[in-house]
Amino acid sequence: MAPSPSSEDNSAPRWFKSTHSTNDGPDCVEVAAIPGAVLVHDSKDPQGPCLVSSPTSWGDFVCFASRR
């Protein structure tokens, strides 16, 4: 995952997207880790809704997805 450009606000989450993603690709999600949670949102709508997961649940998901 590569970091996306960060804002000047140091308290804002740092969003990352897969290095397999391209800027012209139609679909991409970004992920940010904050204390006690992992956030996921649509890169095309960064101000839109975001999913919130516990770090444990996110780790379980990544492990599951990597086996597929």
pTM of the model: 0.72
Helix (H, G, I), strand (E, B) or coil at 37: strand
Q: Do the domain assignments include residue 55?
A: yes
H helical segments located in 1-68: 55-66
What residue type is 19 in one-letter code? T
Joined tokens for residue 16: 């990352």
Dist CA 12 CA 68 (whole Å): 32
**What is the domain range of residue 37?**
13-19+28-68
Q: Do the domain assignments include residue 63?
A: yes
Asked whether the beta carbons of 55 and 33 are under 8 A apart, the reply is yes
| Number of domains observed in the structure of the chain | 1
Q: Do the domain assignments include residue 3?
A: no
Over the stretch 10-67, which tens digit does the pLDDT of each residue have? 678 999 987 777 766 667 889 999 999 999 998 888 889 999 999 999 999 999 989 8
- Nearest Cα neighbor of 4 from 24, 38, 32 is 32
Q: Do the domain assignments include residue 4?
A: no
